[in-house]
Structure formats: structure tokens, C-alpha cells
Amino acid sequence: MTVVTTERLILRDWTDEPADLARIYDIYSRPEITRWLGVSPGLPMTEPGQAAERLRMWRDRHVADAGRYGTWAIEVRETGVVAGTALLKPLPGRGEGELTGDIETGWHLHPDSWGHGYATEAARALIAREFATGTPEIYAVVSPGNEPSMAVCRRLGMAHVGQRTDWYGGELLETFVLTAPGG
């Protein structure tokens, strides 16, 4: 299912098709990507079969969200190549299984898709979509030292509000926020 489109991108559900599963594995088996994803069980992936497990985890996480929140493939319209993942979801709190009312946007792109503005374009579309529902502010949380992702936050117009430990079990994260227009 397509979630949102932009001039260059289609944000859509990841599928169980072999090409999507291979791309999930190719992205999430790379230390240069997973090192920025904090404490995340099963990462980096070490076997292709883990891609199907990751996809099931994403689907289970968002089953009750009716398409509002999710973890989606970023497909480049011109080539059909999946550049990476975009997400929009409630931030997990400090406790196991606890969700907060704070909404997060994020992105994980394959290195062959870095430097093309895809993360910014995908996040901008998801942010606009979420602001249209009345959400007053959206966060991005970034592992300290991940300068490229912090640059995306700044391109999105997000304000850096320092390092915080409110989410992801108390992990120290660089925190950025964007307030809805007129908010």
C-alpha cells in the first residue's frame, strides 16, 4: 500500500517479495547503518532470513495504527530502487513496551542512496501528513555523533533541544523537534 508520494519518491509498505526482503537485509546487515540504531536486538542482521523476522516485527508493532504510523520503504520513482526506510511512530518510553504521546520521524538509508536528499524528502512528506492530523510537534532522535542524520533534521527545520533520555529505555539521544505551523 502506498502511504504518501513526493516528486521523486513513493513511501509504501514493505512487502514479503524477495526483492524487498533482500533490500531489508542489505540495509540492516550493514554496521555503518546499525551502529546508529542504538540497542536494537537482532542488528546487525547476520542471515538473510532475519529480514522476514524484522518485517513481521514492524507489522506487529503497527497493526493497531490503521496506517497512520509505520515503518515504510522509500522507493525511488524513477528507478524503482528502495533507497531505505522511513518511519513515523509514537516514541517508546523508558519502560519495556511503554509508548509515549511523542511522535517520531526517522530514516535509515542504504549507502548507495546517501547524499540524494531522499531522507529529507521522505521525512518532510510524513511530517506534513502527520501535522494535518493535528499533531502539535514531531521529534527526531539521533545517536550522538551521527552528523548526517542531524544535518537532515536541520534541513527539515527542526530545532535541536539537546541530549535527552526520555525515550528508548533511557538511551542518551540528540533530540530535535519541529512544531506544527501556527503552533
What pTM did the predictor assign?
0.96
Domain ranges of the chain: 2-179
Distances (CA, A) of 119 to 8, 38, 101, 150: 11, 19, 24, 11
Q: How far apart are CA 24 and CA 39, in angstroms?
A: 18
Secondary structure, 3-state, the chain? CEEEECCCEEEEECCCCHHHHHHHHHHHCCHHHHCCCCCCCCCCCCCCCHHHHHHHHHHHHHHHHCCCCEEEEEEECCCCCEEEEEEEEEEECCCCCCEEEEEEEEEEECHHHCCCCHHHHHHHHHHHHHHCCCCCEEEEEECCCCHHHHHHHHHCCCEEEEEECCCHHHCCEEEEEEECCCC
Kindly give the confidence (pLDDT) of every residue in the chain, 183 residues in length, as a single tens digit, with 9 standing for 90 and above: 999 999 999 999 999 999 999 999 999 999 999 999 987 888 999 999 999 999 999 999 998 888 899 999 999 999 999 999 999 999 999 887 788 999 999 999 999 999 999 999 999 999 999 999 999 999 999 999 999 999 999 999 999 999 999 999 999 999 999 999 987
Q: Assign a CATH topology to domain 2-179.
A: Aminopeptidase (3.40.630)
